[in-house]
């Protein structure tokens, strides 16, 4: 269920940035149930937003022992966007990170996704750098939220 929400939520992002399973196999638009299962097995929490018990969005926290917690795969189904669910998921993830003892939460996104970067800035995230990785065909924007 969570993988389906993630995949469907990012389905409109992939064509905007020319992403395919071949050139961006780890992008959330290609999310497989095994990705979610591995995270849950590691103890990475997921928060799911529901409307009338139907999932409309989710977010996860990736806990690593050697680095800050990373907010991952914040996803809201297109038909439920611009109704505050993304903000609710963000806030819930930040609160969960706080209970886990985090001082900061990292966020990474497609650098050219200006609208999304601006949204994160409005929520209080600050840019910490940009990088290119062999695993994806786009520049990654790294941001941090200080708790």
The angle formed by the CA atoms of residues 56, 57 and 60, to the nearest 5 degrees, is: 155
**Tokens representing 90?**
């963000």
Provide, rounded to the nearest whole percent, the portion of the chain with pLDDT above 90.
95
Q: Which residues of 9-48 are buried (b: 16+ CB within 10 A; e: fewer)?
A: bbeebbeeeebeeeebeebbbbbeeebbeebeeeebbbbb
d(CA 117, CA 121): 6
Q: Which whole number is the average pLDDT over 32-51?
A: 95
Residue 84 has pLDDT above 90, yes or no: yes
CATH number for the domain harbouring residue 15: 3.40.630.30
Output the pTM of the full model.
Answer: 0.94
The structure tokens listed for 146 are 């200080």
**Structural domain span for residue 81:** 2-146
Domain total in the chain: 1
pLDDT of residue 66: 80
Confidence of residue 69 (pLDDT cuts 50, 70, 90): very high
Instruction: Tell me 98's DSSP state.
Output: H
pLDDT tens column, 86-139? 999 999 999 999 999 999 999 999 999 999 999 999 999 999 999 999 989 999
pLDDT at residue 63, as a whole number: 86
């Amino acid at each position: 269920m969570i993988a389906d929400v993630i995949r469907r939520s990012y389905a409109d992002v992939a064509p905007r940035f020319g992403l395919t399973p071949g050139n961006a196999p780890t992008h959330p638009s290609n999310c497989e149930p095994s990705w979610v299962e591995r995270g849950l097995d590691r103890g990475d929490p997921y928060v799911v937003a529901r409307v009338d018990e139907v999932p409309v969005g989710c977010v996860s926290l990736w806990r690593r022992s050697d680095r800050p917690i990373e907010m991952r795969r914040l996803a809201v189904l297109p038909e439920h966007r611009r109704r505050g669910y993304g903000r609710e998921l963000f806030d819930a993830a930040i609160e969960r990170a706080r209970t886990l003892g985090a001082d900061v939460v990292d966020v990474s996104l497609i650098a050219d996704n200006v609208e999304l970067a601006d949204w994160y800035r409005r929520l209080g995230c600050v840019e910490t750098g940009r990088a290119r990785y062999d695993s994806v065909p786009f520049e990654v924007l790294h941001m941090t939220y200080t708790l």
